[in-house]
Structure 1
Amino acid sequence: MFKYVMTSLKPLHTSRVICRSNVGEIRTYATLPKRFYKETNILRSEGKFEVTLDQRKLKTPMGNVFAVESEPLALAVATEWNSQKDKIIQTKMHLTTLCNTVIDNPNHLNKHDIVNYIVNYLDTDTVLFQANEDEELLKFQVMQWDPIIEWFNNRFEANLKKSIQMDIPPASDQDKNLLTKHLMSYNFAAVNGFMYCVDTLKSVVLSLACTERFITPERAVLLSRLEEEYQTGHWGRVEWAHDLSQQSLQARLSAAVLFVHFNSQSNKIQSKTTN
């Protein structure tokens, strides 16, 4: 639905790399910001957990103090920042991005807005529309996708219908109401995580199957790319393209699943006291 990029404690000053193409066109690219801190840590303040970089508090792009309610989530975000090498690659810090989106809420959304977005995605869900022009591909989709649809219907007492004609609504109002009730039981942060899953997989069914631990993130990504996997099985795989794309989606999805779980329960790590 939207992507929100983070910043650090202060605006990251970026220089520009100027490249000249063969046709004489000049293009400029922002260079990656250098890592400007040595250590990351977390601290507790007013019942929430903050991330520090060299004892200075991390802030969101809108200048808010970066504070979350889950201690494991704060530790995971600190680990993201600590894992940066000489350069800070913001696009690979998915948990930080999700937290910034929840804290700043740049699009001024409420929980009901996000739940509606997710539920209405059922109308174009990847696994509910199967091929009818390729018999072999259709058999492959039936074998791989139908068990996931069956699990979804059993788990949520729904009655989703797959389509091979592209003209039959796969979800009834009753199905949508059931899913709405389920998602509204989560907090605002968690439903942001669900939305991140759906945008990554283009499927509500696969997203719920993954967050409910029926399938792994790796399996969910493969199922979301089923037609592409089918085609590469026939025509070959370009490692630098297909593999990198698959790994990028797995990283995004894994972060979103963690984000949902971290925000769905009270997570605090108790330090052991020594006598």
Structure 2
Amino acid sequence: MTSSNQPKRFYKKAGIEPIDGGWTVALDGRTIKTPGRAALTLPSERLAKAVAAEWNAQEEHIDLLAMHLTRLANVAIDRTEETRDDMADELARYCETDLICHIAETPDELAESEESHWAPVRDWAGDTLGVNLVSVVGIVASPQPDASLNAARDHALGLDVFRLTGLVYGAGLYGSALLALAVEQEAMSAEDAYEVSRIDEAWQAEHWGEDAEAKAATENKRLEAKALGVWFRALA
């Protein structure tokens, strides 16, 4: 979204206020509502401060696409409870084709790097959550155990709307349910999980180069991962 079609900043300062059920953000004293016209009720003061910081960071125009925490909060409040079952199913689908279950066929150097970073996460998910996924060499997925898919789904269904929103968002960002689960469970930082998810991409860039568009996309995803880390730390 370019500045020509971004809304102009219409407030001087974003602050936080206590509200029934938690905290909210106020722009020049006027509290924010979600796109669904619900109160922007956040579960912790820390998260409210982080969302307010996004609003304070806006310049002449408001870049809504770059306000990752605000967008996550809107989804959590407006949509997640109604789509909880669908989101749990989505997490299970990520398990079926989880990035860190697909080891490169060649070269050996890349495959070894992937396994050294990915195998511990797979082991952690199996030991901690009962999500034991089968790894393969190559891109053709192996059928995953129903018990593991059900364990991932049940875990998702047991989360509050804010944690569930962050979890499914992370699975999409990483291409991996297991990395997202590790972040949600504080077994791994969101930033480290992103770097682990792009081992193949980083290897390709190191050996064959990377164009400006790809670099920009990587940096944007790093910002998303950083925001996701703030999100989960604020929910802790």
Q: Where on the TM-score scale, by shorter chain, does this alignment land: which range?
A: 0.7 to 0.9
Selected match of 1:84 from 43, 47, 58: 58
Q: 1:39 touches 1:82 (CA, 8 Å); kept in 2? A: yes
Report whether the alignment pairs 1:256 with 2:221.
no
- Separation in 2, partners of 1:52, 1:147: 43
In the TM superposition, what are the counterparts of 1:196-215 in structure 2 within 5 Å? Answer: 196-215=169-188
State the AA in 2 paired with 1:84: Q
Selected match of 2:126 from 140, 153, 168: 153
Q: 2:190 touches 2:228 (CA, 8 Å); kept in 1? A: no
| Cα 1:61/1:121, change in 2 over 3 Å | same
- Separation in 2, partners of 1:102, 1:80: 17
Selected match of 1:119 from 73, 81, 92: 92
Q: 1:217 touches 1:250 (CA, 8 Å); kept in 2? A: no
State the AA in 2 paired with 1:92: A
Residue 138 of structure 1: CA displacement?
2.4
Q: Which ranges in structure 1 are unaligned for 5 or more consecutive residues?
A: 1-13, 18-28, 266-275
Residue 186 of structure 1: CA displacement?
1.3
Q: Give the number of equivalent residue pairs.
A: 235
Higher helix share: 2
Residue 47 of structure 1: CA displacement?
3.3
Residue 201 of structure 1: CA displacement?
0.7
Selected match of 1:64 from 15, 21, 38: 38
Report whether the alignment pairs 1:38 with 2:12.
yes
* 1:128-177 residue CA offsets vs partner (Å, 9 max, x unmatched): 112225444323322332222222222223432101251421x3111122
| Cα 1:66/1:158, change in 2 over 3 Å | closer
Selected match of 1:53 from 14, 23, 27: 27
TM-score by length of 1: 0.76
Q: Which ranges in structure 2 are unaligned for 5 or more consecutive residues?
A: none
Q: 1:126 touches 1:224 (CA, 8 Å); kept in 2? A: yes
Residue 108 of structure 1: CA displacement?
7.4
In the TM superposition, what are the counterparts of 1:230-269 in structure 2 within 5 Å? Answer: 230-238=203-211, 240-263=212-235
State the match for 1:100 in structure 2: 74
In the TM superposition, what are the counterparts of 1:10-29 in structure 2 within 5 Å? Answer: none
- Separation in 2, partners of 1:90, 1:73: 18
Note the aligned Cα RMSD (angstroms).
2.4
- Separation in 2, partners of 1:198, 1:142: 19
Residue 194 of structure 1: CA displacement?
0.5
State the match for 2:200 in structure 1: 227
- Separation in 2, partners of 1:180, 1:245: 30
Say which one has the larger Rg. 1
For the residue of structure 1 that corresponds to 2:16, the secondary structure is: strand
Selected match of 2:113 from 116, 140, 156: 140
Q: 1:112 touches 1:184 (CA, 8 Å); kept in 2? A: yes
For the residue of structure 2 that corresponds to 1:51, the secondary structure is: strand
- Separation in 2, partners of 1:158, 1:102: 25
- Separation in 1, partners of 2:116, 2:87: 32
For the residue of structure 2 that corresponds to 1:49, the secondary structure is: strand
- Separation in 2, partners of 1:108, 1:147: 32
Q: 1:77 touches 1:95 (CA, 8 Å); kept in 2? A: yes
Consecutive aligned runs of 4 or more in structure 1 exceeding 4 Å deviation:
none
Q: Percent identity?
A: 29
* 1:101-145 residue CA offsets vs partner (Å, 9 max, x unmatched): 12222x873322211211221011111112225444323322332
Q: 2:24 touches 2:41 (CA, 8 Å); kept in 1? A: yes
